[in-house]
Amino acid sequence: MTVDAARLRSLTQEFLAAHPPATTPRADFLSARFDAGLAWVHYPEGLGGLDAPRSLQAVVDAELEAAGAPDNAPRRNGIGLGMAAPTILAFGTDEQKRRFLKPLWTGQEIWCQLFSEPGAGSDLAALGTRAVREGDEWTVNGQKVWTSGAHNARFAILIARTDPDVPKHKGITYFVCDMTDPGVDVRPLRQITGEAEFNEVFLTDVRIPDAHRLGDVGNGWKVAQTTLNNERVAIGGARIPREGGLIGIVAGTWRERPELRTHDLHQRLVKLWVDAEVARLTGERLRQQLVAGHPGPEGAGMKLGFARLNQEISGLEVELLGEEGLLYDDWTLRRPEIVDFAGREAGYRYLRAKGNSIEGGTSEVLLNIVAERVLGLPPEPRTDKDVAWKDLAR
């Protein structure tokens, strides 16, 4: 079936007539929306989509929003929707796609990411968590860190070392880990904000069936690249309106509080407003490229700009507000499901933005990606590229 905007609008209206948002329970509505192919229209039929162009998702979303339909609370399951789902779609078996994609999209099952380790953050390929095959299962032992939302997650995307005798990029395999396994121990990491949205996760004799492996044994680095490219787009390439995000908050304060204004702050605000608008328009171009294929290294550039802007804008906001900008209403240990920049104070935004240049790939690593894969500059020397992982200095 060929699906254009008119046909998709008609299908959405027919769906709303059969499932009135005002009287259909939220869980039932979301389940039916997935089955109707209106979840993510560019996915295959039977997996929440209609094999339609990605750009047509906006047609569905507009019709549903106008009708007051519930959404799937995407911020609550950002890792699942933005990272796990496209990876499962690209590398999963038919059985894995049927098992995981629907409850992931509806929010019935929350996902987290078990990638970084205490000794393998920026150099992720040096990871040491081991997975040893025993028949149709794998036994996993190791430690992961900076795991957002692990305390709420049902499943995790996990990469582990399955062959220590080959170079580090070649001996990694990608799995889906059941976070309810008794060998999974999640411990909170208290942040500078006072919250603990991140965790460290200890894996002790965790059993993973081979049926939960994504991609071939030893091909986990290639699978992980799909995840990481989608992560950077999800973090830095979200669609926002003009003067949306943090720049809108600061501009609003500037207009409402004339007593705070100075010439120097005005010049900095104008510059950051322009930078934010350039970033927004660049994001629109990136999403147009996504319609034609998979995310590439351009997402690294978007994420770089996102981190820099958030930190500079939140710093300007604190300076604009003076002593008032340092106030912070809640320093208790909280375990949030989402990061809420807009709903908190300037002091929170300033502190939390510091993490933007670490999460989703450090700015230093992303600069290398942009330099090598976008600009075509010579790569940095990598003397350990052909050395077996077991022989690396640690």
pLDDT value of residue 382: 82
Sequence length of the chain is 394
- C-alpha to C-alpha distance for 62 and 55, rounded to whole angstroms: 12
pLDDT level of residue 288 (50, 70, 90 thresholds)? low
Q: Is residue 157 over pLDDT 90?
A: yes
State the pLDDT at residue 220.
98
Task: Say which range, 31-45, 174-188, 252-266, 359-373, has the weakest mean pLDDT.
Answer: 359-373
What CA–CA distance (Å, rounded) separates 168 from 127?
8
> Among candidates 271, 253, 221, which has minimal Cα distance to 346?
253
**Is the pLDDT at 291 greater than 60, yes or no?**
no
Q: Averaged over 376-387, what is the pLDDT? A: 87
Q: Facing residues of 174 across strands?
A: 159, 214
- Residue 16's SS3 state is helix
Q: β-strands 198-209, 184-189: how paired?
A: antiparallel
* Closest among 149, 45, 166, 169 to 97, alpha carbons compared: 45
Provide the percentage of residues in the chain whose pLDDT is more than 90: 67
Give the Cα separation of 220 and 162 in Å (integer).
Answer: 10
Told to judge if 117 belongs to the known catalytic residues of this protein, a careful annotator would answer no
* pLDDT at position 294: 57
Q: What is the mean pLDDT of residues 271-280?
A: 94
The mean pLDDT value for 285-290 works out to: 68
Res. 37: pLDDT tops 90: yes
- CA-to-CA separations, 10 to 14, 64, 198, in angstroms, rounded: 6, 12, 43
Helix (H, G, I), strand (E, B) or coil at 174: strand
Between the alpha carbon of residue 37 and those of residues 46, 62, 102, the distances in Å are 7, 16, 11
pLDDT for 330 equals 66
Q: Cα-flanking dihedrals φ and ψ of residue 120, to 5°? A: -150, 80
Catalytic position from the list 109, 197, 231, 298: 231
What pLDDT sits at residue 235?
A: 61
Q: Could you report the per-residue pLDDT of 320-379, keeping only the tens digit for each? A: 999 899 887 766 667 777 777 777 889 999 999 998 888 877 888 888 888 888 889 998
- pLDDT mean over 104-120: 95
Digit-coded pLDDT (tens) for 172-224: 999 999 999 999 999 999 888 888 888 999 999 999 999 999 999 999 999 99
Domains with residue ranges and CATH for the chain: 1-71 (no CATH), 111-220 (2.40.110.10), 237-374 (1.20.140.10)
Question: Among the ranges 89-93, 119-123, 357-361, 371-375, which has the highest mean pLDDT value?
Answer: 89-93
Supply the pLDDT for residue 254: 96
